[in-house]
Amino acid sequence: MENEAEEATMTYSDTTREIRRDDGELVGLLRCEAEQWRPLTVFGASLAEPTDAAHAEGVVRERGLSSLADRWLATIDGESVDVWLLEVRPDRVRLRRHDPMATQSGHGEWHEVAHLNLRLP
């Protein structure tokens, strides 16, 4: 019975698993890399090095959502910039630069994940 509950909180593909809370909210992803699993945020940024599936899932459940409140390092136009995540989607994120002196919209800027290097410092 316990395994059935765990299965209900994951969506599988050949190389990626979605990890969801009991209420269905997506908390992160696991991506298969050389027979190990890398824990990822909902938008695909790495939370830790690849490991076994159980440990990687634990990292996602523990840090997947809470990491969204952390300061991140983004490479934007070739420059490393400290940023805060204002909103995240699987394919894009809305960022605000950490530097209060930076000229920027108070609402942040949307960036496509495919064109952005985003990582925890």
Q: What is the per-residue pLDDT across 19-74, written as a single tens digit (0 to 9) for each?
A: 999 999 999 999 999 999 999 999 999 999 999 999 999 999 999 999 999 999 99
Structure letter (DSSP) for residue 104? -
Torsional sign, CA 88, 91, 97, 56: positive
- Residue 33 structure tokens: 């890399």
pTM over 0.85: no
Domain boundary assignment for the chain: 2-67, 70-119
- Residue 27 structure tokens: 């908390």
Torsional sign, CA 64, 68, 73, 74: positive
Q: Beta-carbon neighbour count of residue 61 at 10 Å?
A: 16
Measure the CA angle with vertex 72, ends 103 and 22; round to 5°: 125
Q: What is the per-residue pLDDT across 80-113, written as a single tens digit (0 to 9) for each?
A: 999 999 999 999 999 998 877 666 677 889 999 9
